[in-house]
Copies of this chain bind each other. A is one copy, B any other.
Amino acid sequence: MAKSKNTEQKIFDAATELFLEKGVDRTSVREIANKAGINLALMNYYFRSKENLFDAIFTMLVKKNTRKLIKILDSDLGLEEKIRKYVEAYIDMLTENPLLVSFVMAIVHRSQERITQMKAISSLYSTPKFAQQVFDESKKGHIKPTSPTQLFVDMLSLITFPFAIKLLIMDKTSYDEAHFQAFMEERKQRIPDLLLLSIKKHEE
């Protein structure tokens, strides 16, 4: 038990990096073992299978990176401030983890088979409090009649998708990383403005 936690962590970290970079299916377990500096047999000692290891990593990545976002959605902030904070925090998170979007998108493709991850991702998008808030504001007449789901999908799309096509956006600017970051920085204001414009009653 001496260095056990350490070795397990080394495998975990090496696999995380490779999965994010190359995708799960294009990463071999021998490659993980090699990168972690350990033997192939240890891979199977700690995690029974590659799929098992992937499950653990996926769960960790989702939990680690969405805590803050869910907290904002479930807070008691007003709708406008909530949307602004959520968009900013989400873009910040994805800027720090730019590979996360395409990683998750790749998983979604095969999630019809794997119910575990489906539920994990689904919880990410289950936002009863936000939906209720939109519904209430809508009913009270504070905002235009608005479908909470449509609004939430709008918001998610506008935040997330640009990271998925990051390379295509950068293609127009000679793959300048700084330019992409400026592009996303601009969207921190643009996206809330766009969404609020669509739900506010008088925009004068």
Would A157 and B161 be within 8 Å (CB), given that A25-B26, A110-B22, A197-B197 are in contact? yes
Query: Number of A residues contacting the other chain (C-beta, 8 Å)?
Result: 45
Find residues 139-162 in chain A having any chain B CB closer than 8 Å to their own CB.
Answer: 147, 149-150, 153-154, 156-158, 160-162
A50-107 interface (Cβ within 8 A of B): 102-103, 105-106
Report B-chain residues with C-beta under 8 Å of the C-beta of A110: 22-23, 26
Identify which of B161, B167, B186, B203 contacts A203 (C-beta below 8 A): B203
- CB distance A168 to B122 under 8 Å? yes
Of A8-16, A36-44, A187-195, the one with at least 4 CB within 8 A of chain B? A187-195
Residue contacts A-B, CB under 8 angstroms, 24 given: A22-B110, A23-B25, A25-B25, A25-B26, A26-B110, A105-B105, A105-B106, A112-B167, A118-B171, A122-B168, A125-B165, A147-B186, A149-B183, A150-B186, A153-B161, A154-B158, A154-B190, A158-B158, A160-B161, A161-B164, A193-B198, A194-B194, A194-B197, A194-B198
State whether the Cβ of A132 lies closer than 8 Å to any Cβ in chain B. Answer: no
CA gap between A108 and B112 in the complex, in Å: 20
Interface centre among A22, A109, A157 (most CB of B within 10 A): A109
